[in-house]
Structure 1
Amino acid sequence: MAGPEISPAAIVSHHKAFRAVLDWKKDSLQVLREYLIRWQRSGLAHVDVHGNTILHFLAIDGNASAFKQLFEDGLLTSEMLKKGNLRGDTTLHEAARFGRCNVVEIMLDKDEGLALARNSLGETPLYVAVASGKKDLFDLLKGKLNEDNVTRRRNDGCTLLHAAVVGEYYRLAFEIVKSFPYLAQAQDEKGLTALNLLASKPLSFKSGSAYSFINLGSRSFIPVQLIRCLIYLCIPPMDNRTKSSTDTEDPQNQSDIPQPKTSLWLTKLTSGYRRVLRVSKLLRGVDDIKQNHALAVLLAKILIGDEEDWSRYTYGESTMEPCKDHGQMNDSVSLQRPNLDSTIVSPKNNRMRNPLIQAVENSIEELVEEILEKFPDAAYTVDKNGKNILHIAVEKKDKRLYDYLKTKVHKDVMLTAIDNQGNSILHLATKQGNCPRIVLGHLNQMAWDVCWFKRIWYDSPPHFQYHRNFVGKTASELFQENHVSLRENAEKALKDMNSGLMLVATLIGTVNYATLFTIPGGFVDDKNSASFGRPKFFSTKKEDQVLSFLWYTGVALFSSLIALTAMLLIQLSRFTNDDFFMTLPVRYLGSLAALFVSTIFTIAACAETYLIIEINVNPYQAMWPAIGFLILISIDVVYLTFHYLYFAFRCSVSFTGQEM
């Protein structure tokens, strides 16, 4: 969009007006008056690369008094306010995006038709406000527009509810569903409903976030993640009479949100508890996340409750008419309540996506449970590849969801099903990959893949070990093929790490062995003494301290020898697939545990030495922080392996007698 030819003087005027808006002073209003008089006839010029005018920035800053005064002076017209930037956003769009209610009210008092303007994506100011989570703007604009104008879609068929769910503004989504319940089942041009969008957001639920104990290891340092999980666990869910002080979606109230009923004293206690939480930035962040998770579950219940028949997700093609020209939608395209015939479905995607399939793919347990609670028959749907939800859970290596689904479905039917490529559930268990959202190293990944394959093997019908897919491969052959590279990488990584740890264990053992012959105080060297060859501090008040020192040193020495032996066994292993199941993880964990004990007792022996020779230093001031640091590091290093061994041991005990 080309503006009028700009003279050097005009460029200065742009700069001066722009500066006046950014640094508002007493004379800024007069500067804007002169600027608007200059450009009133020829039209406002764009002042940045995005095509924004001075009025766009004035609206972003929320300077309501300036707008009011300029309107009174007759310097602002509807045409000037309708001028869009390169994205088609008008001044009202920007005011709505940043929640400038006062500015929006002033503009609408001048011309309510401004609320109907649409940008290049087909978004109205109301849509922009919802997409930015501005509930106060939603309430304001909803009250000034009729229902058809409020529910206008974007060019791609997205509704206000789609926008709220995409932005994860779930409290605002509640308000939208309450005001326009028929939007719960509305589809965009891809055939996606709000429930579809919610099913693609695992981080909006506890089961998909880093605050679930099952997902320990999804963050880089496990002890810190564990602390955050414990804080999350201790925070109570928000009551309908309490609210977050930093909530930008609904600063007024939450009375319309369905919440479990609680007693008055518990409500007051929760409210006071939450005020304490808001003091700390860490606690406030965890609190916000927990409340958002609770709201996501409540929204899911409402959306699922509005579904009357799951067959539209499960069977065949949609019978809805596609929009002939969804790329150029005009203002007449709007939802008709309660008629949903205008719901847009892309001609290329006549079949709607199944939210249950999406929830299983994203390991959202809460959503899976809610759907199956109301629609048990939905469990027997399949995706485009012919895989049922149990197949998908196995493919994703989600052990908790897999165990849950086995209790909710006819597991014999689900376990014996074959997908479109002839793969059995055992074939799907051979795929290489992490369990949901947990970052694993080569060793833990290989061990987990072997264990998971065995776990599904135990559940599968016996004849599946001979079953071949359409490529002509059994599950065992497919597992070997898929894990050649991973097995080699795991072997190399374990050997390289083991070599370094062997050096450390050898050094610790050597130091402690030498220390046994150079104990504090030395030995009695008088051949005529009855205590010849014994430590000098024996038979003194320091004898107990010397004995403790020798005890610490001896334990450190033997622990280092045990660690060295376990590491040698690792180095000499054959590194077959079965070795990764139990043998290598046990040896790895055992060697690290022995090395940890050796290090701790070496530190204790050092501290005891300071006490024996009576140096004017308190060794415990350094010893306990050092031990605490080692404990934190050890937890981070061994947790995933320890957790794996616990799961593998349970599998071995549960299926004793079954052979692979």
Structure 2
Amino acid sequence: MAALATSSGATIVSHQDAFRTVLDRKNRSLQLQVQVVRDYLRQTGDDLAHVDVEGNTVLHFLAIDGDPVPFRELFKDGLPTIQMLKKGNFRGDTPLHQAASFGRLNVVKIIMERDPELALVRNNLGETPPYVAVAAGNKNVFDFVMQKSVVKDTITTRRNDGCTLLHAAVLGEYYSLALDIVESFPNLVEAHNEKGETALNLLACKPVSFKSGSAYSFINLGGRSFIPGQLIRCISYLLFIPPIDKRTIPIADAESQPLCRFILQQIASSLTDLKWKLISGYRWILRRVSILIRGVDDIKQKHTLAMLLAKRLIAKETDWSHYTYGESSTEPWKNQGQTDHSVPLHPIERRPNLHFAAVTTASSPRNNRMRNPLIQAVENSIEELVEAILETFPDAAYTVDRNGKNILHIAVEQKDKLLYDYLKTKVRKDMMLRAIDNQGNTILHLATKQGTSPRILLGHLNQMAWDVCWFKRIWYDSSCHFQYHRNLDGKTARELFQENHVTLRENAEKALKDMNNGLMLVSTLIGTVNYATLFSIPGGYVDDNESKSFGRPKFFSTKKEDQLLVFLWYTGVALFSSVIALASMLVIQLSRFTDDDFFMTLPLKYVGALAALFVSAIFTVAACVETYLIIEINVNPYYLMWPLVGFLILLSIDVVYLTFDYMYFAIRCAFSFTGQEM
């Protein structure tokens, strides 16, 4: 409906006209836009209408747009009023909330000049505009709001669920902003929400924010679908990118850091510079390398800042007992400082007898305690955070979770071999290895859990092999009598392992046999081709019955004899390698597929078969290249050979890396550890 003029000269502007004018700002003059909005605001008064399905008003869209001029012009006429600016959408967000969320600093400034107390208005979730700015990572908006004393005194106002600004920054993984909040409001470090979670609790649930939990750690090779590509990223992470934030490096190196940073930025930007366009064939590759460097740079800065934040949070903790011993109320953030410091059953006092362990079961009145960040860090395999906590609070290691598991138990359950080895050097391992949880499970029972670390993608075959190997690894460390110990369900560790892995063992057997069928066909084809090649060598054979060289290759006793011998060697090696691969696969096909077979026998046969097949493929390609050289075709065969060989190498690394990594660990365990026989 178009704007209408009344008999008194006043202009009537519909909701649609005002909405369209704001949305189509770029195609309308600023004067016309301001005039339409001014008439609309005067017409509606404080009762602004919602113009979209989310309940936003025209002022919300002006704030999202980010241009402060319309607000400045409207303020000259006393519009919009404070009540208009306080009107929220269906979520309770005011125009200032929207401007803070989208990072529109200029709009935030001009609205707060009108009334700074607008920054204290809360939406339906109890979020103020500063909270929304932090949750969106808009540091510039937060810094400006901090300058207003009327806001700074009340900026620690919590959300309805008890979350603070520090919670919001950690949840959004804005760690640089979180560090600033910790410095400005140290009292927020120990503040917890209604779930009993502090900022450190939230950080302990973000493994990808640390190197040990990301795909940029060599430990986690296999976490991405293409292992060689992940390896390149890990090398880039390790070699090329220094920290960017001065808080993350020693003070002595802080002055030299900007120069180093500038040089790296120049190198990255030069890859897409105009001069590189002269090399047209590599333009796409150079752009991808530049994107890779910038992406790795961002990830490394994030990991560095997360680790620095963790250290700051831990350093500001005054007492670790409130994580372990405290009992939370229904709304613990409303009763902070009233934690119960009664001491739970210490691991030293725990009895192997299951009947005595019932005092700490989940049905205990203490089942609403705050989560322990150390327990969470071990559950998520965040090694850096575990080390930082134990360095400051070594006594935190001797605590248990609600199920009675200590941190060594949890590391075993998570199948984290590095964290498990580290913890054994930091705790009284004899005591913790002998502990039993509330369900009567020993450390050996916990090692029977199916699956591996979620950071590595394993197929059925590798997963079954890792599970068997890990069970044997923990068997070496456990007490002899644990193999006979039964949990509350009346099962020994061996029985529990077999029960948990029935389906996985069947899937692993099927997967290996299905893969074997395809590989056997490939090895048969390669062997057949090379066998046929022996009877059709380059140049053929002497067919003159009267010749002394009858039946011998024609190129013998010529200058090409050496090349032909090389060709025959290549063909012979390819043929015999394919036969070895085929024989190895037949042996695998006839295996019994017991649990112990997956430990060493099947992986060795599998790797041997793949290695033989790889050799046969490489030597088949080499024989083909040698043929081109012998018959002197006017084509350089190496242009085809090297890319093909490189592709085969990358493909082989992607296929067998996880198996090689497993075999290295399994062989090292077999030779390094001694214990009772299984």
Q: Structure 1-normalised TM-score?
A: 0.90
**For each residue in 1:138-157, what CA deviation from the matched residue of structure 2 results, as whole angstroms up to 9, or x when unmatched?**
11111113444111000000
Q: Which residue of 2 aligns with 1:201?
A: 206
Q: Which residue of 2 aligns with 1:82?
A: 86
Secondary structure of the residue that 1:164 maps to in structure 2? helix
Q: Which residue of 1 aligns with 2:220?
A: 215
Distance, in Å, in 2 between the alignment partners of 1:67 and 1:263 is 43
**For each residue in 1:415-447, what CA deviation from the matched residue of structure 2 results, as whole angstroms up to 9, or x when unmatched?**
000000000000000010122411100100000
Secondary structure of the residue that 2:314 maps to in structure 1? helix
Which residue identity is paired with 1:294? Answer: T
On the 8 A contact 2:400/2:406 being kept in 1, the answer is yes
On the 8 A contact 1:258/1:298 being kept in 2, the answer is no
Q: Runs of 5+ in structure 2 lacking a partner?
A: 1-11, 271-289, 340-364
Name whichever of 403-412 and 34-43 sits farther off.
34-43
Mapping of residues 613-628 of structure 1, within 5 Å: 613-628=631-646
Question: Does 2:543 align with 1:525?
Answer: yes
Question: Does 2:375 align with 1:357?
Answer: yes
Question: Does 2:572 align with 1:564?
Answer: no
- The Cα of 1:407 is off from its aligned counterpart by 0.5
**For each residue in 1:361-387, what CA deviation from the matched residue of structure 2 results, as whole angstroms up to 9, or x when unmatched?**
000000000000011111110000000
Q: Which residue of 1 aligns with 2:69?
A: 65
- The Cα of 1:207 is off from its aligned counterpart by 0.3
Which residue identity is paired with 2:167? Answer: H
Q: Which residue of 1 aligns with 2:602?
A: 584
Against the structure 1 CA distance between its residues 176 and 258, is the aligned structure 2 distance closer, same or farther, given a 3 Å change threshold?
farther
- The Cα of 1:28 is off from its aligned counterpart by 4.5
- The Cα of 1:615 is off from its aligned counterpart by 1.8
- The Cα of 1:573 is off from its aligned counterpart by 0.4
Q: Which residue of 1 aligns with 2:296?
A: 286
Question: Does 2:274 align with 1:269?
Answer: no
Distance, in Å, in 2 between the alignment partners of 1:561 and 1:388 is 52
Secondary structure of the residue that 2:61 maps to in structure 1? helix
Distance, in Å, in 2 between the alignment partners of 1:260 and 1:371 is 23
Q: Which residue of 2 aligns with 1:187?
A: 192
Secondary structure of the residue that 1:261 maps to in structure 2? helix
**For each residue in 1:226-272, what CA deviation from the matched residue of structure 2 results, as whole angstroms up to 9, or x when unmatched?**
1000000013432555xxxxxxxxxxxxxx66745317556523442
Mapping of residues 359-374 of structure 1, within 5 Å: 359-374=377-392
Against the structure 1 CA distance between its residues 491 and 303, is the aligned structure 2 distance closer, same or farther, given a 3 Å change threshold?
same
Name whichever of 69-78 and 650-659 sits farther off.
650-659
Q: Which residue of 2 aligns with 1:395?
A: 413
On the 8 A contact 1:40/1:75 being kept in 2, the answer is no
- The Cα of 1:549 is off from its aligned counterpart by 0.9
Name whichever of 607-616 and 265-274 sits farther off.
265-274
Distance, in Å, in 2 between the alignment partners of 1:349 and 1:92 is 41
Distance, in Å, in 2 between the alignment partners of 1:78 and 1:314 is 48
Q: Which residue of 2 aligns with 1:19?
A: 23
Distance, in Å, in 2 between the alignment partners of 1:644 and 1:265 is 42
Q: Which residue of 2 aligns with 1:302?
A: 312
Question: Does 2:561 align with 1:552?
Answer: no
Which residue identity is paired with 1:52? Answer: N
- The Cα of 1:80 is off from its aligned counterpart by 1.2
Secondary structure of the residue that 1:533 maps to in structure 2? coil
Against the structure 1 CA distance between its residues 263 and 10, is the aligned structure 2 distance closer, same or farther, given a 3 Å change threshold?
closer
Q: Which residue of 2 aligns with 1:234?
A: 239
Distance, in Å, in 2 between the alignment partners of 1:658 and 1:275 is 60
- The Cα of 1:273 is off from its aligned counterpart by 2.2
- The Cα of 1:619 is off from its aligned counterpart by 1.4
Distance, in Å, in 2 between the alignment partners of 1:521 and 1:631 is 32
Against the structure 1 CA distance between its residues 419 and 22, is the aligned structure 2 distance closer, same or farther, given a 3 Å change threshold?
farther
Which residue identity is paired with 1:302? Answer: R
Which residue identity is paired with 1:371? Answer: I
Distance, in Å, in 2 between the alignment partners of 1:342 and 1:71 is 48
On the 8 A contact 1:186/1:340 being kept in 2, the answer is yes
Which residue identity is paired with 2:478? Answer: S
Q: Which residue of 2 aligns with 1:132?
A: 136
Mapping of residues 475-490 of structure 1, within 5 Å: 475-490=493-508
Name whichever of 201-210 and 145-154 sits farther off.
145-154
Against the structure 1 CA distance between its residues 14 and 36, is the aligned structure 2 distance closer, same or farther, given a 3 Å change threshold?
closer
On the 8 A contact 1:92/1:107 being kept in 2, the answer is yes
- The Cα of 1:9 is off from its aligned counterpart by 7.5
Question: Does 2:100 align with 1:96?
Answer: yes
- The Cα of 1:617 is off from its aligned counterpart by 1.7
- The Cα of 1:354 is off from its aligned counterpart by 0.2
Q: Which residue of 1 aligns with 2:287?
A: none
Secondary structure of the residue that 1:150 maps to in structure 2? coil
Question: Does 2:653 align with 1:635?
Answer: yes
On the 8 A contact 2:30/2:70 being kept in 1, the answer is no
Against the structure 1 CA distance between its residues 448 and 23, is the aligned structure 2 distance closer, same or farther, given a 3 Å change threshold?
farther
Distance, in Å, in 2 between the alignment partners of 1:565 and 1:433 is 31
- The Cα of 1:534 is off from its aligned counterpart by 1.1
Match of 2:323 among 313, 316, 319: 313
**For each residue in 1:49-101, what CA deviation from the matched residue of structure 2 results, as whole angstroms up to 9, or x when unmatched?**
11111111111111111111111133311111111111000000011111111
- The Cα of 1:23 is off from its aligned counterpart by 4.8
Match of 1:427 among 445, 449, 456: 445
Question: Does 2:399 align with 1:381?
Answer: yes
Secondary structure of the residue that 2:592 maps to in structure 1? coil
- The Cα of 1:40 is off from its aligned counterpart by 3.3
Distance, in Å, in 2 between the alignment partners of 1:306 and 1:42 is 47
Q: Structure 2-normalised TM-score?
A: 0.88
- The Cα of 1:527 is off from its aligned counterpart by 2.0
**For each residue in 1:383-416, what CA deviation from the matched residue of structure 2 results, as whole angstroms up to 9, or x when unmatched?**
0000000000000000000000001000000100
Which residue identity is paired with 1:453? Answer: F
Distance, in Å, in 1 between the alignment partners of 2:171 and 2:410 is 25
Question: Does 2:536 align with 1:536?
Answer: no
Match of 1:116 among 117, 120, 127: 120
- The Cα of 1:186 is off from its aligned counterpart by 0.6
On the 8 A contact 1:278/1:284 being kept in 2, the answer is no
On the 8 A contact 1:88/1:120 being kept in 2, the answer is yes
Secondary structure of the residue that 2:14 maps to in structure 1? helix
Mapping of residues 452-471 of structure 1, within 5 Å: 452-471=470-489
**For each residue in 1:258-312, what CA deviation from the matched residue of structure 2 results, as whole angstroms up to 9, or x when unmatched?**
7453175565234422443466221111111101101111111110001122111
- The Cα of 1:111 is off from its aligned counterpart by 1.2
Distance, in Å, in 1 between the alignment partners of 2:143 and 2:167 is 17
On the 8 A contact 1:17/1:35 being kept in 2, the answer is no
Question: Does 2:157 align with 1:166?
Answer: no
Which residue identity is paired with 1:505? Answer: S
Against the structure 1 CA distance between its residues 81 and 259, is the aligned structure 2 distance closer, same or farther, given a 3 Å change threshold?
farther
Which residue identity is paired with 1:120? Answer: N
RMSD, aligned α-carbons: 2.2
Which residue identity is paired with 1:157? Answer: G
Which residue identity is paired with 1:77? Answer: T
Which residue identity is paired with 1:484? Answer: V
Distance, in Å, in 2 between the alignment partners of 1:286 and 1:203 is 13
On the 8 A contact 2:191/2:336 being kept in 1, the answer is yes
Q: Which residue of 2 aligns with 1:493?
A: 511
Distance, in Å, in 1 between the alignment partners of 2:122 and 2:394 is 43
Which residue identity is paired with 2:103? Answer: G
Distance, in Å, in 2 between the alignment partners of 1:27 and 1:182 is 48
Q: Runs of 5+ in structure 1 lacking a partner?
A: 1-7, 242-255, 327-332, 334-338
Distance, in Å, in 2 between the alignment partners of 1:351 and 1:211 is 35
Against the structure 1 CA distance between its residues 396 and 210, is the aligned structure 2 distance closer, same or farther, given a 3 Å change threshold?
same
Which residue identity is paired with 1:574? Answer: R
